[in-house]
Amino acid sequence: MGEIMLISQQEMEKRLTMKRAIEICERAYRAVGENDAKFPAKITMDLGESDPWPNYGAHINAMPAFLGYEDIVGVKWAGGFDDNRNVGKPYGIACQILNDPRHGEVVAFMDATHITSIRTGAASGVAAKYLSREDSRVLGIVGAGLQGRMNLEALLQVRKIGQVKIADQYFEASEKYAREMSARFGVEVIPCRQFQDVAEDSDIVLTATNGRDILVRKQWLKKGATLIAIGSYQEMEDQVYLSADKLLCDSWAQCSRRGQLPALVTAGKIDRGSIYAEIGEVVAGKKPGRETGDELICACLIGIAPLDIACGYSIYKEMKAEGGYPSFLLR
């Protein structure tokens, strides 16, 4: 084995900005659409309730990908741990390994917690760029946690948002979000007590929770709205997905099994033919995104490995070109 670069979370946070992440993710999506990236559906190690094993209230996903345009292969090992909130640790924990695809040698080992957080927001930014109306000004977000924040930052990069409405299970969290995000970004942020208030009259509605409740209903949505659902479970009533003029996902292989759509798939209400396109096909120009101002468009994003590997490799290349990075030799 040769030299392995070590990249810390602090280094990632310094170098991987939202603007940069959106650019990287857009390029990675294009590679997916052009069949220039290969990745199996993520697999999950369940550390939750499964007798006779202990219940840690957690899961860890293995997410490998090969990027043809970068000639790099890697895997992200990322999980969510429910008890972390009680001990002052982040819910999501992740690391990532990059390998030389010719000989298999590990070239980098890096923290991927920041990669996961920022690329999740960046993915929504790319989706909004291609699917939302260019004149979108009102953004409604359900979920005042980390991803509610990351996704706001991403959407501000691609649309001239003038007003943000935020709702959470806990109104206090919405109030805190409104104070912090308005101060940080200089945009009007209104805390709402009802999810309906968030959805009504919003040009873009984004849901980012890990709850199992229905948060958005079809009758609340304005004509021409763009919906981006990134939560762990179904967040919108069935009719939202079934009546959308265009229903998209980032990976049918994954979204048919987890996230927004599995219950509809199991019930026989949605199949592969129901999906207008995967996001990569739109970014690659194989299918148009938004074509009219009246279309109701819904995108279900569960997260795909090429985006993670692309983000990590970009930082690796930059640090390698600079020299003097922390590393070790494994023999």
Domain range annotation of the chain: 3-115+306-329, 123-303
Provide the mean pLDDT of the chain: 95
pLDDT at residue number 54: 86
Largest CA distance in the chain: 62
Q: Residue 207: which pLDDT band, with cuts at 50, 70 and 90?
A: very high
Is the C-alpha dihedral spanning 78, 80, 83, 89 positive or negative? positive
Cross-strand partners of 138: 163
The alpha-helical segments, DSSP class H, found in 132-276 are: 146-158, 171-185, 195-199, 238-243, 252-255, 262-266
Report, as an integer, the average pLDDT of 187-192.
98
Question: What is the distance between the alpha carbons of residues 295 and 225, in angstroms, rounded to a whole number?
Answer: 7
Task: Give the tens place of pLDDT for each residue, 273-319.
Answer: 999 999 999 999 999 999 999 999 999 999 999 999 999 999 999 99
Task: Give the tens place of pLDDT for each residue, 217-254.
Answer: 999 999 999 999 999 899 999 999 999 999 999 999 99
CA–CA distance from 31 to each of 24, 187, 195, 218 (Å)?
11, 34, 36, 33
Q: Do domains 3-115+306-329 and 123-303 have the same CATH topology?
A: no
CA distance from start to end of the chain: 5
pLDDT at residue number 331: 53
Task: Give the tens place of pLDDT for each residue, 52-89.
Answer: 888 999 999 999 999 999 999 999 999 989 899 899 88
CATH 3.30.479.10 fits 123-303, yes or no: no
Spell out the CATH class of 3-115+306-329: alpha beta
Question: Coil, strand or helix: which one is 327?
Answer: strand
